[in-house]
């Protein structure tokens, strides 16, 4: 009858094998979990975050590290006067999101807020700020402030001037529609990425089990023949 003897050297080898398998398993788990939980991250923007511009931009461009899904992206450009200056809808070209910008009518800080759907299907929100110090574009003025209107009222009768003053006092409908659009839909928070809490908890539990297994193997009593 042959009785196998467990030597300290064989115990060490067995512990090393268990540790190596556990290490490879943990690395593979982290790799797969990282790929599954990674969201798109904003790499750059034009205008750049924190930049100061003398010339007003005609469009904003956001570049991400992974392709963006073309699923109802939202981009807003809000000026220091509270008005929205984005024009039309954003366009998506792989990792780049672009939105037109209208003439800037106020100097100061502008906030570009965005909400896109990342490659893993999760929404990503954030914002970019820039300063505009150039000459603002003239805001649309009503006919009452134009030189032509002043000349024409001087040549009309008092009754006509009174009627003209009444109509001039009420702004046209087009001048009262400068309400910020969809600013509430984009929360001013930073884009986030990384491993979720349950993944870290699972990895911590696996590490504890691995350490316990190694300790049990090393403390196993030797059998003598």
Quick check: pTM over 0.85?
no
Contacts of 41 (CB under 8 A, 6+ apart): 64, 65, 66, 124, 191, 193
Q: What is the pLDDT along the chain (225 residues), one digit of tens a residue?
A: 555 565 666 666 776 777 666 666 665 554 444 444 578 999 999 999 999 999 999 999 999 999 999 999 999 999 999 999 999 999 999 999 999 999 999 999 999 999 999 989 999 999 999 999 999 998 765 333 333 333 333 344 445 544 444 444 444 443 333 334 333 334 333 444 444 455 566 677 777 777 877 676 666 665 554
What is the rounded CA–CA span in Å between residue 120 and residue 36?
7
Q: In angstroms, rounded to a whole number, what is the distance separating the alpha carbons of residues 97 and 125?
A: 13
d(CA 80, CA 55): 16
Q: 29-38 long-range contacts, Cβ below 8 Å, gap at least 24?
A: 29/199, 29/202, 29/203, 29/206, 30/195, 30/203, 33/195, 33/199, 33/203, 34/195, 36/120, 37/120, 37/193, 37/194, 37/195, 37/196, 37/199, 38/66, 38/120, 38/193, 38/194
* CA 67 to chain CA mean position, Å: 13
């Amino acid at each position: 009858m042959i009785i196998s003897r467990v030597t300290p050297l064989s115990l060490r080898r067995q512990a090393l094998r268990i540790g190596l398998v556990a290490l490879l398993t943990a690395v593979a788990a982290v790799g797969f979990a990282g790929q599954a939980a990674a969201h798109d991250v904003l790499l750059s923007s034009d205008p750049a975050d924190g930049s100061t511009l003398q010339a007003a931009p005609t469009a904003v461009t956001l570049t991400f590290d992974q392709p963006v899904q073309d699923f109802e992206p939202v981009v807003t450009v809000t000026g220091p006067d509270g008005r929205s200056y984005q024009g039309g809808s954003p366009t998506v070209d792989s990792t780049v999101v672009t939105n037109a910008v209208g003439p800037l009518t106020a100097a100061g800080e502008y906030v570009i807020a965005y909400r896109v759907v990342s490659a893993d299907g999760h929404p990503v929100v954030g914002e970019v700020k820039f300063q505009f110090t150039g000459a603002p574009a003239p805001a649309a003025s009503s006919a009452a402030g134009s030189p032509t209107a002043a000349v024409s009222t001087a040549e009309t009768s008092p009754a006509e001037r009174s009627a003209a003053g009444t109509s001039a006092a009420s702004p046209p409908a087009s001048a009262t529609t400068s309400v910020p659009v969809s600013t509430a839909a984009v929360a001013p928070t930073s884009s986030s990425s990384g491993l979720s809490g349950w993944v870290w908890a699972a990895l911590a539990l696996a590490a504890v089990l691995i350490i316990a297994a190694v300790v049990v193997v090393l403390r196993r009593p030797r059998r003598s023949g």
